[in-house]
Structure 1
Amino acid sequence: MSKLVSIGECMIEMSALENGLYKKGYAGDSLNMAFYARAFLPQSVSVDYFTALGDDGESEALAQSIQNHNIGTDLIRFLPGKTPGLYMISLDQGERTFSYWRAMSAAKEMARDMAHLERSLLGADKTLFFSGISLAILQPDTRDQFLTLLEKAKSDGQKVIFDSNLRPSLWENRDEMADWTAKASAVSTMALPTVPDEYVLFDERSSEQVAERYLRAGCSEVVVKAGPGDALVTNGTEKEWVGPPAPISPVDTTGAGDSFNGGYIAARLNGKSMVDAAQFAHKVAGQVIQHRGALVSEIKSLVQ
């Protein structure tokens, strides 16, 4: 059995309904990806979530929610005195803004125990996924050892997949964010960056420039996402532009990039070509943005 391990932070999600009401759920970029990958991967591929939670009732409920999505929780550590983070989504004509409360989030400590990292993440049968958020939330003194472990995984032949998913508010400054994003790209085999964030951070003006930077860093496969625009997929030899099947008016763009990631990764692990995988990922994301919230439970039946 092969394994996909998604590394990051799952939070309590408060998503806007109508009349000022909110619905509670549990989500986060790395969990969202795992949710959509699980929907389209065969049961012979296990999907596990690596994070840390607290010892409160919400942590217990969150872990149960992950299990209910058929995502493994054996790699989760439960830390005394900690809690999950919380975020609130506000919508304006389908576009979202976020407010966060994560000072006591247990996930900030998920890379503290090196032995636990090695037991959980190293292994020839494991494909690893992490994001810029996974890296940004870590305590600064644990980021180096986290990336050192991912570098070992890559050198041992494991697939290491990175979505830069830039959140400037999580970093001290632009230079720090750029430096750690570059370090993360160097330990990855596949990158799934999104424009225009990368344009702003690295002063680039085209998807080709973004892709070239990740290839130079050592990634062997890059998908530069552009929201509703065409994605650029390349392995350094082949290069193709892949667009969505049709324009869509979004209801809620929360989870659009994460669902694209999950669809793409699942398709690639299922043996699809880069182009076919990108076409499939566009279909998945196109369905997700027509629903509210990050996780669409009926996604498999919606994507034909």
Structure 2
Amino acid sequence: MKRFLTFGEPMVMFTAQSEGDLADQMVFRKFVAGAETNVATGMARLGYDSYFASRVGKDSLGRYIRKALAQEGIKMNFVSEDDTWPTGFQMKSHTTHGDPEVEYFREFAAFRHIPLQGIANMMVGMDHLHATGIPLALCENTRQYGLKMMTEARKAGMSISFDPNLRPNLWPSKKEMIRVTNEAAALSDWFLPGIHEGQLLTGLQDPEAIADFYLQRGVKLVIIKLGSQGAFFKDSKGHFEIVPGVPNVQVVDTVGAGDGFAVGAISALLEGLDEKATLQRGNAIGSLAVQFPGDSDGLPSRPALYAYLQKVYAKIA
């Protein structure tokens, strides 16, 4: 298995155990949250040497994150502790209809103070880097950290995937969000936006036109997530594919669907699977992710993934 590396801000998520106003809740369940930790977890469960780079506070929440990720088999070599700044967290309501209420407590978090030194050393022996747009949005320091991670990975000859994971409320302006995100996308080999993200970032509407926008800027392949409709693939050689989504999924929590898709698509590409199989695996893990309450609860082991793929795509066929 190839060595996989990702980086980002890990947070502790406290999820209400009954429906209603978040202010009225008294019982919560604790999870590790963060797009990048979800992907690192999914890759580890599929058997990859999965490394995570980050910074947490020297506190109970930081210890919880480190223990929980290590128990998943994620390599914690590049996770440091901060003596001054604490670990960020979030609180989420429980709902069976619509989007949950989420409150973030992250402006003070240790990850915003992660040092830029030593990044090149992390790339030694690594095969693939996965990046998201979240570190680019948090502050100037994490933005420089994210761009440097991608630049050093490119220098080291690693393959790079990038999920924009747009968070408009974290950016000072829409214009800056679009500029920086597209700059990062051009550093990647595999770009994985959702359809609405692609439309926002390019001003284009059609999936193929969006893909061409990035292929013309040096990206090797673009996979556009179409939600319940499935996914679209196009590469620099002109190969393209559309695979429908998994039907009749019992949705518990939509958070983490895109991260699950990324796990499926990235692992498939690293294993040399074709376009159709890549999209099927992405769709499958994305659909599993939404059937569980925690962001990473539904991410499967390899045997569970193969059984689920045979079940859902045999039905479609």
Give the TM-score normalised by structure 1.
0.90
How far, CA to CA, are the matches of 2:125 and 2:240 in structure 1? 28
How far, CA to CA, are the matches of 2:162 and 2:101 in structure 1? 23
How far, CA to CA, are the matches of 2:221 and 2:281 in structure 1? 17
Q: 2:116 aligns with which of 98, 113, 136?
A: 113
| Letter matched to residue 147 of structure 2 | L
In the alignment, is residue 246 of structure 1 matched against residue 247 of structure 2?
yes
**Cα offset, 1:223, TM superposition:** 0.7
Q: Which residue of 1 aligns with 2:92?
A: 89
Q: Which residue of 2 aligns with 1:100?
A: 104
**Cα offset, 1:94, TM superposition:** 5.0
| Letter matched to residue 38 of structure 1 | A
Describe how 1:1-304 pairs up with structure 2 within 5 A.
2-19=2-19, 20=25, 21-40=27-46, 42=47, 45-90=48-93, 91=95, 93-110=97-114, 112-114=115-117, 116-120=118-122, 122-123=123-124, 125-137=126-138, 139-141=139-141, 143-144=143-144, 146-236=146-236, 237-296=238-297, 299-300=300-301, 302-303=304-305, 304=307
SS in 2 for 1:14: strand
SS in 2 for 1:17: strand
Which structure has the higher relative contact order (CA within 8 Å, separation 6+)?
1
Are the counterparts in 1 of residues 252 and 292 from structure 2 also a CA contact under 8 Å? Answer: yes
How far, CA to CA, are the matches of 1:13 and 1:160 in structure 2? 28
**Cα offset, 1:123, TM superposition:** 3.2
How far, CA to CA, are the matches of 1:178 and 1:7 in structure 2? 21
Are the counterparts in 2 of residues 154 and 189 from structure 1 also a CA contact under 8 Å? Answer: no
Provide the alpha-carbon RMSD of the alignment.
2.0
Deviations, residues 205-230 of structure 1 (Å, cap 9, x unaligned) = 12122212221222101111111112
| Letter matched to residue 253 of structure 1 | T
- For residues 221 and 191 of structure 1, do their structure 2 counterparts lie closer, same or farther at Cα, with a shift above 3 Å needed? same
SS in 1 for 2:222: strand
- For residues 204 and 297 of structure 1, do their structure 2 counterparts lie closer, same or farther at Cα, with a shift above 3 Å needed? closer
How many correspondences in the alignment? 297
Are the counterparts in 1 of residues 285 and 299 from structure 2 also a CA contact under 8 Å? Answer: no
SS in 1 for 2:227: coil
**Cα offset, 1:97, TM superposition:** 4.4
SS in 1 for 2:108: coil
Deviations, residues 82-103 of structure 1 (Å, cap 9, x unaligned) = 1121122233515344321101
SS in 1 for 2:52: strand
SS in 2 for 1:18: strand
Are the counterparts in 1 of residues 89 and 105 from structure 2 also a CA contact under 8 Å? Answer: yes
How far, CA to CA, are the matches of 2:231 and 2:222 in structure 1? 10
| Letter matched to residue 31 of structure 2 | G
Are the counterparts in 1 of residues 220 and 235 from structure 2 also a CA contact under 8 Å? Answer: yes
Structure 1 unmatched ranges of 5 or more: none
| Letter matched to residue 95 of structure 1 | D
| Letter matched to residue 204 of structure 2 | E
Q: Which residue of 1 aligns with 2:314?
A: none
- Comparing 82-91 and 273-282, the one that deviates more: 82-91
How far, CA to CA, are the matches of 2:226 and 2:91 in structure 1? 24
SS in 2 for 1:153: helix
Are the counterparts in 1 of residues 289 and 298 from structure 2 also a CA contact under 8 Å? Answer: no
How far, CA to CA, are the matches of 1:211 and 1:284 in structure 2? 22
How far, CA to CA, are the matches of 1:94 and 1:284 in structure 2? 21
- For residues 290 and 212 of structure 1, do their structure 2 counterparts lie closer, same or farther at Cα, with a shift above 3 Å needed? same
- Comparing 242-251 and 211-220, the one that deviates more: 242-251
SS in 1 for 2:5: strand
